[in-house]
Chain A
Amino acid sequence: MAQVTIENVSKTYSGDMRAVNSVSIDIADGEFIVLVGPSGCGKSTLLRMVAGLETITEGSIRIGDRVVNDVEPAERDIAMVFQNYALYPHMSVRQNLAYGLKNRGTPKPEIEKRVADAAAILEIGSYLDRKPRQLSGGQRQRVAMGRAIVREPAAFLFDEPLSNLDAKLRVQMRGEIKQLQKRLGTTALYVTHDQLEAMTMADRIVVLNSGRIEQIGTPLEVYRRPESAFVASFIGSPAMNLIPAHGESGNLRVGDHVVAMTNGHAVPESQITFGVRAEDIRLRGEGEDADMELTIDYVEELGAGRLVHGRIGGAKLAVSLPSGEPLSDRLDLVLDRDRLHIFDHATGRRVRPETETAG
């Protein structure tokens, strides 16, 4: 159990390929951090640098009080769970769990005790003597977890551990990993490209894009107050609506529509990108003025609600509405003023509102 400090870490591959660019993250003891981003954003590279499987070009990584830049993976006191589990195919489950301990010279009774404990925690006791190829995907996943647990490491590293499972099992394992981590109180660093995994599992999310950190924050912070248009579009499903617009005497002009900013958050007089989540738009109520009119393209029925896809002017917009009432071709919509996001058109950084009002 330890904190993990990543300080100005960069990774440059031969040539000028910069996979990770000056990343700093402070991970508290026992915290569950999820690194999320599209493929090629450097999240796996970062994780592998913490594991010691990649060299660190610049910066330093500390696990506990120790700088581990030049420490062998086995000496770093970490355990890693791989996407394809990487179980040793010729060893039984028991041998798979024990291998690392054996190499570290742990006494036999101690190994047996730890393997038994881990098997009990993960409920894999009944197939300890089977080979990995005789196990299902979910069972292999558990064994891979078990191999991490028996080491009693300072930190768990997960490299997209659920992406080889089917959807149902993924949801189940998601919960189990989270619970297990809380129970063991071990610091965890978890890489995924699935924003839902990030939202549901993380204490804090780190959103990466092109090797840089876009934002670090709790799932709710990242969801409600994205620091950039990239984060806004990446976190949340459906993705946040992002529409080019510009400010007009403090109000928001989107195509032919002007949205009056009545809550004091003036919009700058320039080209901007304005963002609003599907659930922060509603149908115009009785005696209300509509902010904009939506032409419906198609409707997705989700059971609990429906997702209406359409266009305002040239821009696409998704609106989340309750199910039931029949819809006309056009909808009059009202935006939740407190939940509007304004991003700089050129840089994509957040400009308004600067403080969190959307709590």
Chain B
Amino acid sequence: MHKTKFLDHVILLCGVFLMMAPVVVAFMTSTHDAVAVHLHGLQVTWGGHFTDTYKEVLTKKGGFTGEVTGARMVMNSFILGVGFAVGKVILSMMAAYAIVYFRFRLGVVFFWMIFTTLLLPLEVRILPSYEVMTKLGLVNTYTGLIVPLLASATGTFYFRQFFKSVPDELLEAARIDGAGPFKFFFDILVPLSKTMIAAIFIIMFVYGWNQYLWPMLMTNEEGFYTLVRGIKQILLVWVGSQIPEYNQAFALAILAMLPPVLIVVIFQSWFIKGLTESDK
């Protein structure tokens, strides 16, 4: 018994080490200055340049045009993450509502059409999507950044399953109480889906925050750069004898990691509730 317990902990500790070590190394490295990193490689000790590095990363105007700051990139990432998550929740909730509660012609066919788009991620349809966005003149806009990513089979599917678990009698009681489709949706279904909405929001926020390929295609003005893109940009400044600011790259990586981690940690209980239990 004791032996197993010990072994369990060893395995868990190995897991923790594997997961955490790179993060710790990245963080420690980001507190050294660029020269130290260049000379001695990755660091595992505290370098003392924490405030310098992070202040510079967040406020220094950088990039090719020298206009984009780290703070700006954080904001862009937030706009993308939140817009993406909110849009997806709204859209997939409405789609699921239509599929579950309305008998319309070919309803099932539509559901499966939405469902099969799971097999067609953005990467597959990236050229036509880009073409459409260009024609609409939405390159270098937040709209162009967010909208094409919104239609989501995952969200629709989650909400569909949830709505199906809501007892029919609730709908019937609401009908007798004089609630039409809108009222039922906003007065009954939305409040009931709260935990579900939270869970999907979290998943989608992280997903949106981490988008790389699409923002790279859709935005070429640096004012629209997201954090995830910014990291790469820093490493590209091989001008003359300049040393890449490795410490800043690591700082950006840490910054880019922080919001998703925080959101998951803070909303963890909601998240689990939403995905596992139906609050009825």
Chain A residues in contact with chain B, CB under 8 A? 51-53, 72-74, 78-80, 82-84, 86-90, 99-100, 103-104, 147
The CA of A89 and the CA of B240, in the complex, are separated in Å by 67
Number of A-B contacts (CB under 8 A): 59
Nearest 8 Cβ contacts at the A-B interface:
A74-B178, A100-B177, A86-B169, A103-B178, A86-B173, A90-B191, A82-B169, A73-B176
The CA of A72 and the CA of B183, in the complex, are separated in Å by 15
Taking the nearest CB of chain B, how far is it from the CB of A135, in angstroms?
A: 14
Is residue B167 contacting chain A, with contact meaning CB distance below 8 A? Answer: yes
| A53 and B172 within 8 A (CB) | yes
Interface residue SS majority, chain B:
helix
A73-B175, A73-B176 are known contacts. Are A86 and B167 too (CB-CB below 8 A)?
Answer: yes
| A89 and B169 within 8 A (CB) | no
In chain B between 177 and 195, which residues have their CB closer than 8 angstroms to a CB of chain A?
A: 177-179, 183, 187-188, 191-192, 194
The CA of A53 and the CA of B169, in the complex, are separated in Å by 10
Residues of A contacting B176 with CB < 8 Å? 51-53, 73-74, 78-80, 100
A82-B173, A104-B178 are known contacts. Are A99 and B187 too (CB-CB below 8 A)?
Answer: yes
Taking the nearest CB of chain B, how far is it from the CB of A23, in angstroms?
A: 21
The CA of A281 and the CA of B279, in the complex, are separated in Å by 55
| A103 and B169 within 8 A (CB) | no
The CA of A147 and the CA of B192, in the complex, are separated in Å by 20
Residues of A contacting B169 with CB < 8 Å? 82-84, 86
| B175 and A74 within 8 A (CB) | yes
| A99 and B177 within 8 A (CB) | yes
Chain B residues in contact with chain A, CB under 8 A? 167, 169-170, 172-179, 183, 187-188, 191-192, 194, 279-280
| A103 and B177 within 8 A (CB) | yes
Pairs across A and B, CB under 8 Å, 7 listed: A78-B176, A88-B173, A88-B174, A90-B191, A90-B192, A90-B194, A104-B178
The CA of A80 and the CA of B188, in the complex, are separated in Å by 18
The CA of A46 and the CA of B188, in the complex, are separated in Å by 27
| B172 and A72 within 8 A (CB) | no
> Which residue of chain B has its CB nearest to the CB of A80?
B176
| B178 and A86 within 8 A (CB) | no
| A89 and B172 within 8 A (CB) | no
- Most chain A Cβ neighbours within 10 Å, of B172, B175, B178, B280: B178
Residues of B contacting A87 with CB < 8 Å? 173
Q: A82-B172, A100-B178 are in contact. List 15 more A-B contacts (CB 8 A).
A: A52-B175, A52-B176, A53-B175, A53-B176, A74-B176, A80-B176, A82-B173, A83-B169, A86-B170, A88-B170, A88-B188, A99-B187, A103-B177, A103-B183, A104-B178
The CA of A88 and the CA of B192, in the complex, are separated in Å by 9
The CA of A83 and the CA of B169, in the complex, are separated in Å by 9
Residues of A contacting B192 with CB < 8 Å? 89-90
Residues of B contacting A52 with CB < 8 Å? 175-176
> Which residue of chain B has its CB nearest to the CB of A81?
B173
> Which residue of chain B has its CB nearest to the CB of A103?
B178
| B167 and A84 within 8 A (CB) | yes
Residues of A contacting B175 with CB < 8 Å? 52-53, 72-74
The CA of A147 and the CA of B187, in the complex, are separated in Å by 17
The CA of A88 and the CA of B169, in the complex, are separated in Å by 10
Residues of A contacting B179 with CB < 8 Å? 74, 99, 103
> Which residue of chain A has its CB nearest to the CB of B172?
A53
The one of B178, B183, B187, B279 that contacts A89, using a Cβ cutoff of 8 Å:
B279
Taking the nearest CB of chain A, how far is it from the CB of B241, in angstroms?
A: 65
